[in-house]
Structure 1
Amino acid sequence: MMGKVIGEGVLIVLILMIVSENVEAQPKSILINCGSNASVNVDGRRWIGDMVVNNNVTLNSPGVVASTDALSGSSIYEPLYRTARVFTASLNYTIRGVQGKYFVRFHLCPFEIVDHNVNESSFGVVVNGMKLLSEFNVAGKISEKNANLQNSERNSSLFFLVKEYILDVDDGLLVIEFVPSRNSFGFANAIEIVPVVGELFDGSVGKVGGGNLSLAGHGMETMYRLNVGGPEIQSNEDPDLRRIWEVDSSYMITENAGVGMKNSSNITYALVNDTSVAPLLVYETARAMSNTEVLDKRFNMSWKFEVDPDFDYVVRLHFCELMYDKSNERVFRIYINNRTAADNLDVFVRAGGKNKAYHLDHYDSASMRMGMLWVQLGPDTAAGAAGTDALLNGLEIFKLSRNGNLAYVERYNSAGNSGSKSKSKVLWIGVGAGIASVAIIACIGVFVFCFCKRRRKESSDTKNNSPGWLPIFLYGGGAAVNSTVGVKGSNGNQKLYGSVASTGAGKRFTLAEINAATKSFDESLVIGVGGFGKVYKGEVDDGVPAAIKRANPQSEQGLAEFETEIEMLSKLRHRHLVSLIGFCEEKSEMILVYEYMANGTLRSHLFGSNLPPLTWKQRLEACIGAARGLHYLHTGADRGIIHRDVKTTNILLDENFVAKMADFGLSKDGPAFEHTHVSTAVKGSFGYLDPEYFRRQQLTEKSDIYSFGVVLFEAVCARAVINPTLPKDQINLAEWALRWQRERSLEKIIDPHLKGNYCPESLSKFGEIAEKCLADDGKSRPTMGEVLWHLEYVLQLHEAWLNMDNNNNNSTESSFSRVEVEQEHSNQDEEA
């Protein structure tokens, strides 16, 4: 008996040892909290700070640590997004002890970083030699996601990104390299390395149109992951692999084509190996065709996705029959990019019954030529099913690597041809372009030489003439006329500081003058910092106050903005545009000198400072002044000028609180007469950017109208346009205010300082014009002239209300006519 007990005890110990070994052999997740010396518990897991000593994770360079207290409640990962590792040079994380297939996720949440503009961040990521990202801009990608999502479908991913990849690690070592773009920087908030369990991506995939593709040796990027017909599924609801499943309605061509359905019955996987494919929550909801009795049997449920050209894609479809308990009740076809991927599909038959989770994978290469991927489900009438219906529970799209690359860099031309399709063709095009460039440069050089020689000859009798010609002098449409500049010194005597260009661009200051005006760029004189550089308060020409904006000499973007600013302001003069006094282009410095605006930015008087709040009348007058400036831009030139960066920090107030538009570094000439838009790269500020412009990359003056609509709501609500610390439905000001305005309840969210101090009728009209400015379709938005007219009418309403007794409030609108307002508007335009 004793021997039996001992034998059983030994057996139990052996079993425990085997179980323990298996547990230890099971790969573990590695979770890194970037830019932190502390570890935090998030979504039930422990994230280790990258500054904590860790034998498995090493960092080759400290970079810069950034942190913020401004984030709150933006997502379940909010504690991770309070810190970031910032890098201006290459930075490596080396992770040891990893072997097999892993999900590698990068958590990226932009927040305000000292001395860095997150909107201009650009970087790449390489993992074990495979390029994952190149020249990636986080804020831009977030804006794109905003633009593509419907207002009702904004979710927790709106203000942060999670870039997810599936990679094979063969040698037990994972090296993650962050590489900033030239003259830029990058950042990361957290890194998540999760082992892939089960047979998630094994074997081969059937190709649309025939054939198979082996997934072995391919890296993958998750492009889309949707819970079709159901709510968003957070990572903690997918405990094995921690995936996020978005709602699908924003990607549907016609949302009403499919109706959501739900079944709370016990659902099981059709195959034992499928347990890691998707959580059961995905299969509990679905979308089925909403009208199965239509006469046109070609009616489909359709989803459209923007994808990167020059890559192949795996489309994974998740199914579970939730309604029918027999076959031939729901038979349909699957189309990918308008080609049949599967026909005669009966989920009940394929999965082996009702409430059985099942998935299909399809490989497609057609999207490499299109930059767009379509998924459609529709009835298969040839199958003779009892009904004409289709069903889908979940959808995933994965990008496959090509030649060790997952980063989208190369773009296709308008004809759809790849730039790398023919290396010889590219070579000859490059040679031809080089020859043409040399010829053009030679012609320009001859022209410049002749021009300089003639100018020197004409001014040979004047000793103090400028010794040479600067290209910048041509801005404004003509050559420069140089003359000696006399400036009084402290002793009253005239001192010679250099030459000035008498052009539309204003005076050309010498660097010595600028140093004197700013006390050698004394930091105590800094009154603002922007993407271009720092702005100093200085005094020029006998004590005239000026705002002196100094660019970073190494900034290529600064050079482009410098040239654009001078080019634009040399031909713009209006009392509601900030005037350019002059510039300095000497010793690699790029400096612009503006009239000084004593009361700073409009934003500083709305929130974020200790300045007294503006009255309702002052806010209206500021908006009207900005509208007048923009109206002049849109109509004052032959083709008009589009500002492209309308926001409250670019609306400045002088000593009398007169508003003027500023910062024309991103401005563009409007479309030519025969065109409707300007095709250009997307530029602007997060929160103000026109979603239509972002989607189509087609710039019109209506893009300024959208941005100005955001400014109007910002003026009345006195809060930031993007505030991640607020609840999800309030983070984006434009969406939040628009919802209240459409309910005609804008007064419930206005700045508390305005309570009881405004005309209700004027606020109502103000909200209406702001709402029109934010129309989804640019063609539905008013012109700036129409916006200006309505704002002046709003001001008239408020002024009449101020002059009336409270008993006569209801008759305010009838106390003056719109004809009078229109006449006033006409008079002001003539005066301008």
Structure 2
Amino acid sequence: MKSILLPLVFLFQFSSILLISSAYTLPDKYFINCGSDTDINSVNRVFTGDLNSGSVSFTKQGSSQVLDSNQVAGQASTTIYQTARVFRQRSLYEFQITNTSTTYLVRLHFFAFPSTTNLSMAVFDVSTSEFSLLRNFTFRNSTNAPTTKEFLFNITSGKFDIYFVPQVSSFAFVNAIEVFPAPESFIPDTALHITSSGSNGNYYKEIVSKVLYTIHRINVGGLTLAEENDTLWRNWVPDDSYLYNSNTAKNGTSYTGKLNYMGRVNEYTAPDFVYRTSKQMNIVDGSQSNNFNITWNFRVSKNTSHFIRVHFCDTVSPSLNVLTFNLFIAGKFRKEIKTYDEGNYQLAAPFYFDFVVDSDDSGILNISVGPNAKSDLENTAFLNGLEIMEIMEKSVSEAPVINNGTKKGLVLVLVVSVLGGLVFIGVLAVFIFFGRKKYRKTNPGEPLDSWSALPVFGGGSTHSRVTKKSVNGSNSLNLGLKVPFGEIQLATKNFDSKLVIGKGGFGTVYKGIFRNGVKVAVKRSQPGSGQGLSEFQTEIMVLSKIHNRHLVSLIGYCDERSEMILVYEFMEKGTLKDHLYDSKFPCLSWKQRLEICVGAARGLQYLHKGSDVGIIHRDIKPTNILLDENLVAKVADFGLSRSGPPDHDQTHVSTAVKGTFGYLDPEYFKTQHLTEKSDVYSFGVVLLEVLCARPAIDPSLPRDQVNLADWGKLCKNKGCLEDIVDPLIKDQINPNSLKKFAETFEKCLQEDSSDRPTMGDVLWDLEYALQLQQSPTKREPHEDSTTDASDVLTLPNVRRVPSLSESIVVEDSVLNSDSLNISESEVFSQLRIANAR
């Protein structure tokens, strides 16, 4: 019934707007259907085919149309998501603007429909002449639904350009574009500024000179509102998934009477539906026990300013001038809400407040409403709607150079290229001359041609043992990463045993220093053994294509003289395992452990969703999580990695079982079906290991405690998790943080992969556990958590022994269910103690 009523109410609402709001007329441009010569009617606006538009132009050279392969041949598309414009080079759309110095809404629509061009492989930037809007954007989401990116900012010039810049060897695309003016004073120029230390009464100024990027638009207490339910074609989503504690809130009764629009609020501020529904405090029988704040948590960009608009409409008060409650923002600011005053002394009168809030490094922003200390018990608190927009500063100094194929443009490009080449050659010649001169002084007995002044990436021996094909595909290896064997010899002092920092299944790891002072970790297989060639190739293929702060960087490789050598950035603090037990390092605090887990989760999340193709690590464990000098975590060792399913229809990759005993996903082990959730299971074991500071497998313990994953889940279910927590940090852990952390690893360790969260969800939970650890333990009665923060964890001593876990390969085989019923000597015969693969 609701689905039938929404369009009817919307039609009435639209007709009333035209009569009531004479100050603003719904625009008829610009709505562009990209990659098409067809005009499409969509919710009271016409998207004009970009080939038909006379007032909008685009770069035609290097661009092409792409059509949905499911569309019937010869039939015109019926929606904006059945065509796209594809750009193979830097390109632009140019709009002629008549109404300047006005706030505009700019929306970019993306959908990777099935076509001859795999649109989901596109990686590109989007910018204007002053602002960078999207960086390294790629269309990837779990629902495979269209994505809309919305921006609001002033356009001050008569010409407005949107640039699409493909990444190297990729392309850009867009399905549709909207550029139209917003109502007058839609965005204020100033708003109360809430900094990291709270509000001191100062205001954030010149908001309209920035770009506002919409990241959350919430219909609190209501349903999803699609563009046909909004006067400005916005989308609003329900709030339930953002609630910190759903027991504290209930949906208010939907209001069906007349809304009293007053002052600056009108029908364009938000849809009627937003003001007719709300979340209210869940007060049961007037009991104070349920009288807690309602809190919503939102993911936001870290250490960034955000524009926040909070919507209210008092349809819950029984009479005038009785309801007063508090609004809390980011735990730093409180505002008393007097609905009678703000609603111009009448009920059902919409009103809103604007703020600029600086986020911290947690990436979480919380908004709460709660009772005023002076309120009577029967009074409540409520919220109707919420908008959060990231404030983007100017970041593009000049527009990207667009080559439209003209002779003038071609000449300019050639001149710039030639001049740039001459300058580069001159600098290189000077560099080589002084480099050789210096080398003669420091190494008079060494032939000049034996070494280059710096590590050389390229060239190499012709006796290469590495094929130019990857293990899982046909992509060529990145030959630009090749490092001469002699350079590696010099860096490691000819593989001096004193520089050994680890040994593992692949070989020995040495610390090295290149002649430019760069420290590296050199992993060398046994020369001439031929073992590990597949892992060697996979490692190079994976790390040459992905780059992230939380993934270890591959500096180069060498395959000369029957060698297989990998050169990585040097991680000063070693592996995570090095810090957990039998450690020469100081004990990690609980906060440090959480930060390390968050960093590793970010690296895995990037592997799964942020790279061009989804990658499954297959060997997540503490020895493959490295720490730099600042204890920043980086995931390492990609020798066993596999690409994810090649298309959205497949849920897994069928492959022989590989991984490390104690961390293997049981479902993958049984079915040989590898998924991203296999990494999630392994990471769950790592989380337990971080909490307990004991190895994943310890055969010296009683049988029910040998396997940490099983033992941890059992203790969690029995309510005695504190019995196995590392005693060295027992006094540091906030109980709320421990509770959230335990919920996280328990979800990761579910037997059925479909019950496990994604790495994105794991990351969110860990960031929240970190936020809880950083927040004060003691809580006021009206706050969300009912946990007694004063409880003290009483923990027994936990044995700290080296891990017996080591990488294993189980090719087309199944281990007996009694495989854990083995003696300590048998375990040592099967597994080798090691710190690196």
Instruction: Give the TM-score normalised by the residue count of structure 2.
Output: 0.51
1:468 aligns with 2:468: no
Contiguous gaps of at least 5 residues in structure 1: 1-17, 147-153, 408-440, 458-465, 476-497, 499-507, 536-548, 578-591, 602-624, 631-641, 646-660, 722-731, 740-764, 798-812
CA drift at 1:60:
3.3
Shift of 1:395: 0.3
SS in 1 for 2:153: strand
What SS does the corresponding residue of 1:274 show, helix, strand or coil? coil
Residue of structure 1 equivalent to 2:217: 225
- What letter is aligned with 1:31? F
Counterparts of 1:407-806 in structure 2, within 5 Å, are 453-456=444-447, 467-468=450-451, 508-510=460-462, 534-535=475-476, 549-551=477-479, 670-671=575-576, 673=579, 674=585, 676=593, 677=596, 682=603, 683-686=606-609, 699=633, 717-718=651-652, 768=751, 770=753, 776=762, 795-796=814-815
Q: Supply the distance in 1 between the matched residues of 2:392 and 2:271 (Cα, whole angstroms).
A: 26
Identity fraction in percent: 17
Q: Separation in 1 of the partners of 2:369 and 2:329?
A: 9
Q: Report if the CA contact (8 A) 2:307-2:356 is conserved.
A: yes
Write the distance in 1 (CA, Å) between the matches of 2:823 and 2:386. Answer: 56
| Residues 773 and 174 (structure 1), Cα distance of their counterparts in 2 relative to 1, 3 Å cut | closer
How many angstroms does 1:57 deviate by? 0.9
**3-state SS, counterpart of residue 236 of structure 1:** helix
Question: How do 1:55-94 residues align onto structure 2 when only pairs under 5 Å count?
Answer: 55-65=54-64, 67=66, 69=68, 80=81, 83-94=84-95
Aligned twin of 2:369 = 377
Aligned counterparts of 1:245 and 1:35: Cα–Cα separation in 2: 28
In the alignment, does 2:236 pair up with 1:245? yes
8 Å CA contact 2:217, 2:236 repeated in 1: yes
Partner of 1:342: 335
- Equivalent residue letter for 2:213: E
Tell me, what secondary structure is at the counterpart of 1:29? coil
Question: Which AA in structure 1 matches 2:751?
Answer: E
1:217 shift after superposition: 4.8
Distance 2:154 2:104 in 1: 6
3-state SS of the aligned residue for 2:275?
helix
Correspondence for 1:28: 28
Q: CA deviation at 1:684?
A: 2.0
| 8 A Cα contact 1:40 1:46, kept in partner | yes
Q: Distance in 2 between matches of 1:27 and 1:342?
A: 37
User: When you count helix as a share of all residues, which structure comes out higher?
Assistant: 1
How far off its partner does 1:194 sit?
3.5
Distance 1:720 1:793, change over 3 A: closer
Partners of 1:453 and 1:117 in 2: how far apart?
57
Name the residue aligned to 2:52. Answer: 53
Q: CA deviation at 1:234?
A: 1.9
Equivalence for 1:277 = 269
Task: Specify the alignment match of 1:318 in structure 2.
Answer: 311
The code of the aligned residue for 1:220 comes to: L
Alpha carbons 1:334, 1:375 under 8 Å: kept: yes
Figure out how many residues of one structure are paired with residues of the other and give that number: 568
Q: How much does 1:174 deviate?
A: 2.6
Q: Is the 8 A contact 1:688 1:706 kept in 2?
A: no
Superimposed CA distance per residue, residues 414-435 of structure 1 (whole angstroms, 9 cap, x where no aligned partner): xxxxxxxxxxxxxxxxxxxxxx
Aligned partners of 2:70 and 2:114 also within 8 Å: no
Task: Show the counterpart of 1:417.
Answer: none
Counterpart in the other structure of 1:617: none
1:195 aligned to 2:181?
yes
Pair 446,343 (structure 1): closer, same or farther in 2 beyond 3 Å:
farther
Alignment partners' CA distance in 2, 1:24 and 1:94 = 21
CA contact (8 A) 2:34 2:83 kept: no
Which of these residues, 150, 167, 178, is aligned with residue 164 of structure 1? 150
Q: Please give the alpha-carbon distance, in whole angstroms, between the structure 2 residues aligned to 1:565 and 1:399.
A: 46
* Aligned-pair CA distance for 1:106: 1.6
Shift of 1:30: 2.0
Aligned to 1:397: 388
Q: Is the 8 A contact 2:109 2:177 kept in 1?
A: yes
Contact 2:121 2:170 in 1 (8 A): no
* Other-structure match for 1:257: 248
Q: What is the distance in 1 between the residues matched to 2:118 and 2:504?
A: 33
**Pair 1:306-2:300 in alignment:** yes
Q: Report the secondary structure of 2:814's partner residue.
A: helix
Counting only pairs closer than 5 Å after superposition, residues 109-148 of structure 1 correspond to structure 2 as 109=111, 121-126=123-128, 129-133=129-133, 136-139=135-138
CA distance in 2 between counterparts of 1:228 and 1:106 reads 25
Residue 290 of structure 1, CA deviation: 2.7
Change (3 A) 1:406 1:270: farther
Matched to 2:383, the amino acid is: L
In 2: Cα distance, 1:308 partner to 1:399 partner: 10
CA distance in structure 2 between the aligned counterparts of 1:269 and 1:565, rounded to whole angstroms: 76
Would the alpha carbon gap of residues 120 and 82 (structure 1) be closer, same or farther in structure 2, given more than 3 Å must change? Answer: closer
In structure 2, distance between residues paired with 1:697 and 1:787: 24
Could you tell me the TM-score, scaled by structure 1's length? 0.52
Q: Distance in 2 between matches of 1:824 and 1:39?
A: 73
Q: CA deviation at 1:58?
A: 0.5
Residues 94 and 33 (structure 1 numbering): CA distance in 2 closer, same or farther, change over 3 Å? same
Instruction: State the partner residue of 1:101.
Output: 103
Deviations 1:54-106 (A, max 9, x none): 2111113433337475899xxx9985265342343253433455554321012
Pairwise CA distance, 1:309: 3.8
Counterpart Cα distance in 2 of 1:716 and 1:821: 41
Map of 2:408 onto structure 1: none
CA 1:163–1:26: 2 relative to 1, 3 Å: closer
Which secondary structure does the structure 2 equivalent of 1:193 belong to? strand
Quote the Cα distance in structure 1 between the aligned partners of 2:650 and 2:54: 54
- For structure 2, the 5+ residue unaligned runs are 1-17, 72-76, 194-198, 399-431, 508-523, 540-549, 554-563, 580-584, 656-673, 682-747, 770-801
Q: Give the partner amino acid of 1:244.
A: N
Deviation for aligned residue 1:40: 4.6
Query: Which string of whole-angstrom CA distances, capped at 9 and with x for unpartnered residues, describes residues 270-305 of structure 1?
Result: 327511111122223322223574469774524344
Q: Which has the larger radius of gyration?
A: 1
Q: Distance in 2 between matches of 1:703 and 1:260?
A: 49
Distance in 2 between residues matched to 1:817 and 1:403, nearest whole Å: 61
Match of 1:174 in 2: 160
Write the letter of the residue equivalent to 2:815.
Answer: Q
Structure 1 match to 2:711: none
Name the stretch that deviates more: 269-278 or 365-374.
365-374
Q: 1:473 to 1:393 in 2, by over 3 A?
A: same
Alignment check: 8 A CA contact 2:218 2:237 kept: yes
